[in-house]
Amino acid sequence: MANNVKPRVRVQKTATKGEVVEIKTLISHNMESGRRKGKDGKLVPRSIINKFTVTFNGKPVFSSDWAPSISANPYMSFFAKVNESGEFAFKWMDDDGSVYDSTAKITVA
C-alpha cells in the first residue's frame, strides 16, 4: 500500500438542470513504475493506481485505465452533464488491491 495517499475532488455545489459541469480530481500517490532504483541500488517495487472510476447516483459516468507512465500525484479533469441532484462517487484502484474513495454532492435546481 502506498503511503500518505490523499484523494481530492472539486465539484461545484449547485448547477441548473442539464448543465455541463467540470469535475477536477487529484490524488497524492508516488506512482512507482517499478523501473527506478532506490538509494540501495535495488529496484523500487511497482505501485501505481491502475484504474479510476466515477459514478453519479450509482450510474457510471467516467472510467480510465492508467499505466506506469502516469505521473506521480495524477490530476484528472472531465465534464459531466447533470440533470438531477445527487452524489458523485470516485474510486482509485491500486496495484496492491487498495481502493481510495471520495464523494461529492451536487444540488440541481
What are the tens digits of pLDDT across the range 8-32? 999 999 999 999 999 999 999 989 8
Instruction: Flag whether pLDDT at 6 surpasses 90.
Output: yes
Instruction: Flag whether pLDDT at 2 surpasses 80.
Output: no
Please report, to the nearest 10 degrees, the dihedral formed by the alpha carbons of residues 26, 27, 30, 32 taken in order.
-90
Q: What's the confidence (pLDDT) of residue 94?
A: 93
pTM as predicted: 0.90
Higher pLDDT, 69 or 29: 29
Please name the residue that has the C-alpha cell 435546481.
109
Q: What is the mean pLDDT of residues 40-51?
A: 92
What domains does the chain contain, in order, with CATH numbers? 6-37+46-108 (2.60.40.10)
